[in-house]
Amino acid sequence: MYRGVHLLVDCWGVDRRLCLDDQKFLECMADAATRAGATVISQVRYRFGDDSPPGFAAVCLLDESHISAHTYADRGMVALDIFTCGETDPHRILRILQDELDLGEISVREVGRFELAPPAAAEARGSNT
């Protein structure tokens, strides 16, 4: 068991226009988080292109953790992270995003965060420090 779940989502074949539309992407991230029951605390986005390949980075800070996206417009790629703790299901956030945005072909890796060890194991680790 883990306190949090972190989804690492790689997207290929994403339309170049979406990979450049930082405002739309960030709005969809915040909406998906809210619809999944998360609390949006802050949002920030930054568009690249002058000294780096075109794309953007966007972060939606949640009370439950975060959602971030980094795009590579010329390659049609999006690196999407969805990390939630508590009751918010990151898979639900991803499903909502897929319903709202054409994310192309995706690969999802799930990583458990903050392992909840059985009490005896936690005590044993504490006594070894």
What pLDDT does 25 receive? 98
What pLDDT does 126 receive? 61
What pLDDT does 118 receive? 63
d(CA 98, CA 64): 21
What pLDDT does 116 receive? 81
Look up the pTM and report it: 0.86
- 85, 91, 107, 127: which one is catalytic? 85
- 6, 60, 65, 66: which one is catalytic? 65
What pLDDT does 127 receive? 54
Q: Which domains does the chain carry?
A: 2-127 (3.60.90.10)
What pLDDT does 52 receive? 85
d(CA 56, CA 93): 20
Residue numbers of the chain with a pLDDT score lower than 50: 129
